[in-house]
C-alpha cells in the first residue's frame, strides 16, 4: 500500500496530498531557512519518489527562489503558510513538516547547517515549557 500524507495551509484555502514515503526529515538552521520560517530552523520532509497532488487552492500557491541559489519555498498567497515545493526539475519534493495534517512516520534525520544557527538557539532544552499560552 502506498503511503498517503495530507496537509493544508493555515487558512485552509490550499490542501494537498503526497503519495509515497519520505526519505529524510531535516531541521535546517541556515539563515535563509530562519528568515523563511521566522523561527530557529525549517523542518522539511524530503521525497524523491513521491507524487504531489493539489486537492484545492492551487491558484493560491506561489513560489519564491532566492536569485542565484537553489533555495526555494512555496507558500499560500492568502495566509502566507509554507507549502510543498517541487525542486530540482521535479526530482525532489520538499514538504514543510508543519503543513502536514497526517501523522509523520519519520523522525528528524539531522540538524543541518547547525553551525549557522542563531546565537539564541543554544540550550533551548533548558527553557521552561508551558502547555498552552502564558498567564
**What predicted TM-score, i.e. pTM, was given to this entire model?**
0.93
Taking the CA of residue 50 as centre, how many other CA atoms within 13 Å lie in the half-sphere pointing to its CB?
Answer: 27
Q: Write the class of the CATH domain 4-114.
A: mainly beta
Whether the Cβ atoms of residue 50 and residue 20 lie closer than 8 Å to each other: yes
Q: How far is CA 39 from CA 12, 27, 28, 29, in A?
A: 22, 11, 11, 9
For residue 135, pLDDT over 90 is answered with no
Q: What are the start-end ranges of the E strands in the chain? A: 4-8, 15-19, 24-28, 42-47, 51-56, 61-65, 72-76, 82-83, 85-87, 92-96, 110-112
pLDDT tens figures, 14-71: 999 999 999 999 999 999 999 999 999 999 999 999 999 999 999 999 999 999 998 9
Q: What is the pLDDT of residues 80-125, one digit of tens each?
A: 999 999 998 889 999 999 999 999 999 999 999 999 999 999 999 9
Residue with cell 533548558: 126
Amino acid at each position: 500500500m502506498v503511503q498517503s500524507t495530507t496537509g493544508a495551509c493555515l487558512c485552509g484555502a490550499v490542501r494537498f496530498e503526497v503519495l509515497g514515503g519520505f526519505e529524510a526529515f531535516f531541521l535546517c538552521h541556515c539563515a535563509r531557512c530562519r528568515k523563511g520560517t521566522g523561527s530557529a530552523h525549517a523542518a522539511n520532509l524530503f521525497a524523491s519518489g513521491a507524487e504531489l497532488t493539489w486537492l484545492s487552492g492551487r491558484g493560491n500557491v506561489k513560489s519564491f527562489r532566492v536569485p542565484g541559489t537553489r533555495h526555494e519555498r512555496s507558500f499560500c498567497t492568502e495566509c502566507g503558510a509554507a507549502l510543498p515545493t517541487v525542486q530540482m526539475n521535479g526530482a525532489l519534493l520538499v514538504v514543510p513538516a508543519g503543513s502536514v495534517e497526517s501523522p509523520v512516520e519519520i523522525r528528524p534525520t539531522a540538524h543541518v547547517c547547525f553551525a549557522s544557527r542563531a546565537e539564541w538557539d543554544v540550550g533551548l532544552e533548558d527553557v521552561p515549557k508551558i502547555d498552552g499560552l502564558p498567564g
